[in-house]
Each structure stands twice: as C-alpha cells, then as structure tokens.
A and B are shown apart, each in its own frame.
Chain A
C-alpha cells in the first residue's frame, strides 16, 4: 500500500470504554461524538484487525474532533496501541504500549472539526503485525496543565488510520 492509504476507521459508537474515566457518548445535531472532559483524563478504546495490506511503514492515527464550546486553547491527545497476538497476550488486563502524544488547537468556531494526526512508527505500535487484533486507546490528557489549555469538552467524532 502507498503512503496515505486508508487502513481502518472508527466511529464513536465503536468505543469499548474503560471501566472508569471514559469519554461519554453524546450527540450534537444528531451526530455522535465521545466527550473528553477538560479536568479529568478520559479515554476511549477501539478494537480492530490490522489489514493485510499494511506495509509496515508506521501509521498515522487521525483524530477528528471539535470543541463543545471553546474557540481557543489546545487539547493534548494521547494514542496507544495494544497488540493481541496469537496466544501472546492475556486480555484480562491491559497492555498498552507507551502512548504517543500530539497537541492541537481548538477550531475558531466551536462546531467546526479539527483533524489531528498522531504519527506512530512501526516500533511504536506494540510489535503489531498484519492480520492481528489490536486495541487503540485515545486519551485526552486534561491534567497536562502546560499543553492542555482548552476549556470544556473535546468531542471526538471520528478516528481513522492511514499508512505513513
């Protein structure tokens, strides 16, 4: 596959939320989103199979999000991958690799969406290879007082993964 080609996409309703501090499902103008708090770190988790056509060049996780009310400030996003290889991981507990972070500014209008790319090299996806199941954890690092400055919720409306 070529650089930029689509691998996977996740809609908010595909979220398999953690037991606590999860981003809540909501709707705005009949469009689903996951709301990430401004004061508490909250997460969403999506499960998928890495397609056979992935060429091992690393992935770009694109977060499509908007602000509930803010028109300024930044959101600090974290993305982490958990590989679930054949007889290789006990899924009774979490095993996410080190999270990769990115900071993005709120759009100037609260209802507009922002596309934020988090780049993960092939070595940053927990050793994941094609045709294996994995989970992708998306977190707003609201407690990062330096980098997360946006008031109110960040609403994640879509996630997609492209080949780097």
Chain B
C-alpha cells in the first residue's frame, strides 16, 4: 500500500492539532515532519509487521483489522 497523499497527511496533521490537548513544544512544521516520517516508516515496514503476525491471524485478518490492532497496541503501550 502506498504512502498517504500530501492532502491526507495535511488533514491528519490538522486533525491531530485539533484534538491534542497535551503540552507540545514544537512548531507546525516540526509536527508535519513527524507525520510524514511516521507514514514513511509504516510504509517501509508494513511487510515486516505483517510477517511478525503469526498464523492463522496473518492470513485471516484483513489489512484494516491489522491496522486497528497496531493502533490499539501502540496506544496501550505508549498512552493515548
């Protein structure tokens, strides 16, 4: 799956700023760079993540289901 489009990244960046209430000590440009880098990293490591999921889940779960699992595990581990 390709990286997000420029507009998708911009919308995600804007959404994050609207919902975030924790103190944040970087500028809009710095935050946008983080969005871009995370999306690029996910794109580069998607296959590695998929291979880390054991069977039969790897074959049975949809891409969207795996994405939700990744998001929930990350939130549980690191807060959110």
Contact = CB atoms under 8 A, between A and B. Distances in A.
**B contact residues, range:** 10 to 19
Contacts of B25: 70-72
Contacts, number: 55
Of the listed residues A72, A149, A150, A152, the one surrounded by the most CB atoms of chain B closer than 10 A to its CB is A152
Contacts of B27: 72-73, 149-151
Given A69-B23, A71-B23, A110-B23, A151 B18 contact: no
A63 interface: no
Interface in A52-87: 68-73
A152 B14 contact: no
Contacts of B21: 68-69
A37 B18 contact: yes
A38 interface: yes
B28 interface: yes
A136 B14 CA distance: 27
A19 to B, nearest CB: 21
B26 A39 contact: no
**A contact residues, range:** 10 to 19
A153 interface: yes
Contacts of B17: 37-39, 151-153
Contacts of A149: 27-29
B22 to A, nearest CB: 6
A163 interface: no
Given A38-B14, A152-B17, A69 B22 contact: yes
Contacts of B10: 39
Interface of B: 10, 13-14, 17-18, 20-29, 31
